[in-house]
Amino acid sequence: MQRSATRTAPQSTLQLLQPGERIRLLAELATPVGKIAEAAYPPGCCEGRHSHRKASLIYIVDGDHWATHSRGGGTARAGTVRYLPAGEPHEVYFPLGSTCLQLELESSIIDLAAEQGRPLERPGEILDARAGPLGARLHDELFTSDDLSQIHVEELALQLLLAGEAAGHVRRRDAPPWLLRIGEQLREEFATRLALQAIARSAGRHPVQVSRQFHRHFGCTLSEYVRRARVARAQQLLRDTDCGVSDIALDCGFADQSHFTTAFRRVTGLPPQRYRLAFGGTKRAV
């Protein structure tokens, strides 16, 4: 087994990304269990709703970010492991950048796990306390790559797939369909001024129920969710178009450029003009 890249410190990698640069593959390793790849995602990178043919285990090496899936979503924090079943629709947003390790699983390893227990089925963070350390060991194995790597990766994958079976471990309940429809509505209508009462009425629920359930299953309030979606769209426009900042603010649903700058800085750590200069290549900063 061979790697396609040498080891690089994740923290330094994010700082070395050049203006306008996109996702950077840091290292990869092919094993019978599946391909392991580590990648650095630059600040503002946003992967829209998509799915993968194979199931995956994702260890967040560095940099908290935001991820959603068909059953909800929330903040993906450094040091945690997430599971995505094959064909699971999801989106990922990296406002400040992140480094992630992904193990793309062959069906054979999932079948092997099923012979001795009940492997993971639901998308999202693996809540078992063992998951983070197992993910870190998987990350280390990417850069060891010796004659024992195949068996070690297989062992780690099996342990992660069967994580959560320990007595007393409780799986988080899925978000109800009506709440998922609200999430979809907020993503599609992020530029529209929405009221909690109207959202609740459209779902046939009480506003308090909507607010509580949304925070529980998406890890943020409705307003935070919409603000993230607006800033994500603005980052894309700043990187990939020459639209003026004031026009982008209005297009993304902000009342004016001042409100836009405040919200954008809160999420990304930079004002829009500086973000465009750093990550927008030759796009103008006006």
Domain boundaries, the chain: 10-161, 177-279
Confidence of residue 142 (pLDDT cuts 50, 70, 90): confident
Does domain 177-279 match CATH 1.10.10.60?
A: yes
Give the model's pLDDT for residue 14: 34
Give the model's pLDDT for residue 266: 83
pTM flag (> 0.75):
no
Closest of 146, 134, 151 to residue 59, by C-alpha: 134
- Taking the C-alpha atoms of residue 141 and residue 21, their distance in angstroms, rounded to an integer, is 27
- Residue 266 CB neighbour total at 10 angstroms: 11
Instruction: State the CATH class of domain 10-161.
Output: mainly beta
* Residues 6+ away with beta carbon under 8 Å from 224: none
* Out of 65-69, 145-149, 201-205, 231-235, least confident range: 145-149
Sign of CA dihedral 260, 264, 267, 271: negative
Q: How far is CA 65 from CA 93, 270, 272, in A?
A: 6, 16, 19
* Residues 6+ away with beta carbon under 8 Å from 69: 84, 88, 89, 90, 123, 124
Q: How far is CA 190 from CA 65, 101, 222, 234, 255, in A?
A: 19, 30, 11, 11, 13
